[in-house]
Chains A and B, each alone.
Chain A
Amino acid sequence: MHIAIWQILLLTLFAAFIAYDFTSQLIIINAGVVMTGFITGLIMGDVKTGLLIGGTMQLMTLGVGGYGGSSVPDYYIGTIIGTAFAIGSGSGLEAALAIGIPVATLAVQLDVLRKMGGSFFLHKAINAVDNYENKKAYRWIISGVLASIAAYGLPVFIALVFGQGVVNAFIHWMPVWLINGFKVAGGLLPVVGISILLRYMPFKSYWFYVLAGFFLAAYLKVPILGIAIVGVIIAAISFKQNPVNTKPIIEGADSDDEI
């Protein structure tokens, strides 16, 4: 396992930053998991593998991840840990998924810690206002970022420092059937993100748009950017033609399904 201390420190900082970024919808929120794989790959010295892992993990959460307050696996942290260990041990996507996905499901709890930490800073800020120390209150509010740093950076640091032995043993133990299983899983897991999104979107009433995209990709082999262009065209036609007082189709559609 080759993860240098400077790499661990950079990854820790990055984990803290991404935790703050994705909750605040700040800079790299769109395609955030791919970005996480990319940056982790950059730090670990293998951008291509980072992109591959980030891309696979991103497809498990397409926009609805983290939405609506229900618990979804934390693919950001899963991607950092999975990518770092996979590249560090010289293994590939299969090992990254085998490590990253369980980590992602455990990391759900970190969000709870962060929000509880937020309460501490909130009360400090309110107290400061009570004492007419407004400047201090603003400082306490900004210090709320420490809750993200502690809740996300610290576990990533600990996992990368102390997890190396265990992960090394695990990767060496990984039998062929498990590696092959995760190879298949890598191709199959995108159905998770896709089906969550279909549940969220008005799939039942507008299934034919999904069919159109499927046809373009399956039969005509159009790359996804081309499909998005066709999607924009159909969306624009619909925007121009439909009467303005249409019922919103996202709000309420299939929303009773707890995801």
Chain B
Amino acid sequence: MTKSDIENHASEKLSKKDIRRVYYRWWFQSQICFNYETMQSAGVVGAIGPIIEKLYGKNKELVKQKLKQYFQFFNINPYMGNAIMGSVVALEETKEENATETANALKTGLMGPLSGIGDSIFYVIPMSVLGAIAAYMAKSGSAVGLGIAVAFTLVMLWVRSKLFDIGYSTGVNFITSKKAVFDKLTQSASILGLVVIGGLLASMVNVKVPYIFQYGDVKTNIQDILDSIMPKLLPLMMTFFAYWILGKKKMTTVKLVFIIIAIAILGSVTGILGA
């Protein structure tokens, strides 16, 4: 296929609406067909395909060739994926001969770094902080924290669409050039996360020692002694224990869950631990 061929078969230009639709399609189908082989490739084709058809509509062979290329392995944080999808649309719109090859190179090159940024800023930290707040309020019967989490997610929809716009109009290089800012944002977000974790371990881990030590006539309430050293000492120690044991080789989340349950049952049966 020569360049003039492509130009001859080029049909329409993209409208604003066409471009917007790529964002919506990526939003709801980025991982709808997630699989081990190519992860999000089908999501890419589903989002970008109709654009390719519109740009090269009459040349069925070329459309097929391009779609097949987009079935290449791809896996990215779905939020950051917006920036890449925006850039891919911009690239295809130029109708350069190597647009799809360039787009795929861009996708492959950036999926790692952008996921690194996206997973912490858009996924792990918001989920942890909002999940902690929602869980805290839910345990006392309030759904307010849940409302905060939903409101945040709605705001993030706007952020997603902004990322798409940046990718389309400024190019995804804008984000990589701002890497230092994103790194700082990541760092600040983790500080927020760490402060909340500290509060969470003091307020949400609840364990007491109901055991009363008796020696002759002297009764000693163990919990009172612990409290006099430091409030929430036991939750703090349990957290450090879990943190330490999680660092052991071959330790998994599942094993940790069952170890904690075993400790709880044993502690409760022997009367050492209480709720």
- A interface list, Cβ under 8 A from B: 20, 23-35, 37-38, 47-48, 51-52, 54-56, 58-65, 67, 70-73, 101, 105, 108, 114-119, 121-122, 125-126, 129-130, 132, 134, 137-138, 140-145, 147-148, 177-178, 180-192, 194-203, 206, 209-219, 222-225, 227-228, 230-232, 234-236, 238-239, 242, 244-251, 257-259
Contact = CB atoms under 8 A, between A and B. Distances in A.
Interface stretch (B36-44, B85-93, B213-221): B36-44
Nearest to A231: B195
Contacts of A186: 275
B interface: dominant SS: helix
Contacts of A115: 34-36
Contacts of B260: 185, 188-189, 191-192
A194 B268 contact: no
Given A188-B260, A224-B136, A213 B200 contact: yes
8 contacts: A55-B134, A55-B136, A58-B138, A70-B253, A185-B265, A189-B257, A190-B205, A203-B194
Given A30-B130, A235-B191, A192 B153 contact: no
Contacts of A108: 254
Contacts of B183: 246-248
Contact of B265 (A47, A72, A181, A203): A181
A255 B14 CA distance: 43
B108 interface: no
A194 B200 contact: yes
A238 B200 contact: no
Nearest to A34: B134
B181 A244 contact: yes
A117 to B, nearest CB: 8
Contact of A31 (B135, B186, B201): B135
A184 B209 CA distance: 11
B109 interface: no
Contacts of A188: 205-207, 238, 260, 263-264, 273
Nearest to B65: A129
Contacts of B207: 184, 187-188
Contact of A228 (B53, B68, B133): B133
A141 B202 contact: no
Interface of B: 27-38, 41-43, 45-46, 49-50, 53, 60, 63-64, 67-68, 71, 78-79, 116, 119-120, 122-139, 141-143, 145-146, 149-150, 152-153, 180-181, 183-207, 230-232, 235-236, 238-239, 241-243, 246-247, 252-254, 256-257, 260-261, 263-269, 273-275
B193 A248 contact: no
A206 B194 contact: yes
A224 B64 contact: no
A215 B261 CA distance: 27
B34 A118 contact: yes
Contacts of B29: 24, 141-142, 144
Of B46, B204, B205, the most chain A CB neighbours within 10 A belong to B204
A72 B266 CA distance: 25
B196 A191 contact: no
A238 B191 CA distance: 8
Contact of B28 (A26, A181, A238): A26
Given A63-B123, A189-B261, A235 B192 contact: yes
Given A25-B78, A196-B246, A187 B206 contact: yes
Given A30-B150, A116-B36, 17 more contacts: A20-B32, A31-B135, A63-B131, A105-B254, A122-B38, A141-B45, A188-B264, A189-B257, A198-B243, A202-B190, A210-B195, A216-B195, A224-B136, A231-B191, A235-B191, A246-B180, A248-B186
Contact of B127 (A62, A114, A196, A244): A62
Contact of B138 (A51, A177, A197, A249): A51
B138 A181 contact: no
B187 A210 contact: no
Given A24-B30, A225-B133, A105 B199 contact: no
A249 B182 CA distance: 11
B205 to A, nearest CB: 5
Given A63-B124, A180-B268, A114 B34 contact: yes
B265 A209 contact: no
B267 to A, nearest CB: 6
B246 A184 contact: no
B190 to A, nearest CB: 5
Contacts of B149: 28, 30-31, 34-35
A58 B162 CA distance: 30
Contacts of A182: 261, 264-265
B138 A138 contact: no
Nearest to B113: A251
B30 A126 contact: no
